[in-house]
Amino acid sequence: MKIKHVVTAFVLLLTLVVSTLAADKPTDDNYIYDSVREKLATDAVVKGGAIDVDVKDGIVTLKGKVTEAKQKSRAESLAKKVKGVKSVINQLQITPL
């Protein structure tokens, strides 16, 4: 019974250490890129669009064209919600059809 308690305590300690180390690790730019692209592609307002995404050190730059102002603001909002994003530079141009 004592061994079971020791093992349980060790597992809890290991979990705590791993989660602490993971929290300190910055989010990878590739992960951010993929996550932003996925959010933009699946959003009903943005509709994927002709939006280019660049990520450097957690800073996302959105470039391209959208047809409405709400698409531009929505794309920025979606990008800001991705874990690890430090800021968003929104260079999208509105070009009505």
pLDDT 10s per residue in the chain (97 long)? 677 555 455 555 556 555 555 555 567 999 999 999 999 999 999 986 689 999 999 999 999 999 999 999 999 999 999 999 999 999 999 998 7
| CA distance readout (Å), 75 to 22, 56, 82, 85, 96 | 28, 18, 11, 13, 16
pLDDT at residue number 96: 83
pLDDT at residue number 27: 76
pLDDT at residue number 17: 57
Give the residue carrying structure tokens 């509709």. Answer: 47
DSSP conformation class of 10:
H
Domain positions in the chain are 26-94
Q: With contact defined as beta carbons under 8 Å apart, do 45 and 69 qualify? A: no
Token readout for 86 is 């430090």
- For residue 95, which phi and psi values (nearest 5 degrees)? -130, 95
Just give the CATH number of 26-94.
3.30.1340.30
